[in-house]
Amino acid sequence: MSQTTTNTATAQLQLNAGTIHHSLSDVVKTEDWSDFEFTPIRESTVSRAMTRRYFQDMDKFAVSDVVIIGAGSSGLSAAYVIAKNRPDLKIAIIESNVAPGGGAWLGGQLFSAMIMRKPAHLFLNDLGIQYEDEGDYVVVKHAALFTSTVLSKVLEFPNVKLFNATAVEDLVTRPAGPNGEVSAAGVVTNWTLVAMAHDLQSCMDPNVIELSGYKDDGTRDESKKHGVILSTTGHDGPFGAFTAKRIVTIDSKKNLGGMKGLDMNRAEAAVVKESGAYDGVNSVYFAGMESATLHGLNRMGPTFGAMAVSGIKAAEEILKHFAE
């Protein structure tokens, strides 16, 4: 390497070092940041700021038009479509984990890339997520890119509230006809840590989120559209397939199908087609792998197109319900 080249490279490095700029460049005036300070605050101010807003949200969403159980890829995809099309609907998302996103932070076997078969790439286009086009399928460089993007877009909608670290323990139900018909009227909630510790205490009663469409005395208000529950809690697990397992005890005509073995080609289309309204209990919808557990479908393994598209299909049905 010539001396001229070396001098040029050194000069470029010095130039680059001298042009570092970030959001705090105009605040910090010393090289060692010795002049940096935060604005002063009381600890109680922080507590009140959090508490006030959370309980305002609990009050606002105590009656919701749409309750989505599970903030994985299906639930978040559905929430995005519903909120984007109907900013007037109140949408509460209940997630048992502290971190939303379900299993969509990684691909298969803890690998990074997320595979989606076409035409699921059209949803990625809608979200503005880049991918590698491999012909029949696309690859997002890291599953977390998909999950963080759809999550951030959902949370930006003013009509959406995510209650994470919150478990759904049961369904609120109402009679819906003369022959034993049942309609879901809300969800029974509790802090997840409380739900996990019921065997350790004598009584830890829950809370509820009620669906819209009822009068103050609890009777049906026929002048208002009935709210809905969309359950996307995944395949069977500690909190997985919750609504599927509960609903077969409410609907005596239905048995839990149980998820079948892995078959990508059969599974993905089947999950999408079986997602949507549940016939046995009014106002309940399913999407994602919970549909596979409910209806006895194959699992698809580490390909995520059906997760997003089943949420979109269920969202479309819900939007049609509110448009009728």
236 labeled binding residue: no
Say what the pLDDT of residue 200 is: 87
The answer to the question of whether 196 is labelled as a binding residue is: no
Residues 240/234, Cβ–Cβ less than 8 Å: yes
User: Residue 99 has which token pair?
Assistant: 């971190």
Q: What pLDDT sits at residue 13?
A: 53
Which residues have C-beta within 8 Å of that of residue 248, sequence separation ≥ 6? Answer: 254, 255, 256, 294
Residue 249 pLDDT > 60: yes
pLDDT of residue 9: 57
Query: Which pLDDT score is estimated for 81?
Result: 98
Taking only the tens place, the pLDDT of each residue in 92-117 is 999 999 999 999 999 999 999 999 99
235 labeled part of a ligand binding site: yes
**Residue range 160-173: average pLDDT?**
97
Residue 180 annotated as part of some ligand binding site: no
Confidence at residue 180, expressed as pLDDT on a 0 to 100 scale = 85
Strand ordering across the sheet containing 132-133:
114-117, 137-140, 132-133
pLDDT in tens, 116-137: 999 999 999 999 999 999 999 9
Higher pLDDT, 235 or 95: 95
Task: For the chain, list the domains and their CATH numbers.
Answer: 63-322 (3.50.50.60)
Q: Is 95 annotated as a binding-site member?
A: yes
Average pLDDT, the chain: 93
Digit-coded pLDDT (tens) for 175-212: 988 888 999 999 999 999 999 998 888 778 999 999 99
- 0.85 cut: is pTM over it? yes
- The answer to the question of whether 301 is labelled as a binding residue is yes
- 96 labelled ligand-binding: yes
Q: How far apart are CA 235 and CA 290, in angstroms?
A: 5
Residue 77 to residue 266: CA distance in whole angstroms: 22
**pLDDT above 90 coverage of the chain, percent:** 86
Predicted confidence (pLDDT) per residue in 69-88, tens digit:
999 999 999 999 999 999 99
Asked whether residue 103 is marked as a ligand-binding residue, the answer is yes
2-54 pLDDT, tens digit each: 555 555 555 555 555 567 899 999 999 999 999 999 999 999 999 999 999 99
Q: Tokens standing for 302?
A: 């580490």
Q: 124 and 194 in contact (C-beta within 8 Å)?
A: no
Check whether 114 is labelled as a binding-site residue: no
Query: How far apart are the C-alpha atoms of 132 and 112, rounded to whole Å?
Result: 14
The token pair that represents 232 in the structure block: 């996307």
Q: What is the pLDDT of residue 143?
A: 98
Lowest mean pLDDT segment, chosen from 5-19, 103-117, 146-160, 225-239: 5-19
For residue 254, the model assigns a pLDDT of 93
Residue 74, annotated ligand binder? yes
Residue 289 annotated in ligand binding = yes
19 burial type by CB count under 10 A (0-12 exposed, 13-18 middle, 19+ buried): exposed
* φ, ψ dihedrals at 222, nearest 5°: -70, -15
Residue 283 token pair: 């106002």
Dihedral in degrees, nearest 10, Cα atoms 118, 263, 81, 116: -40
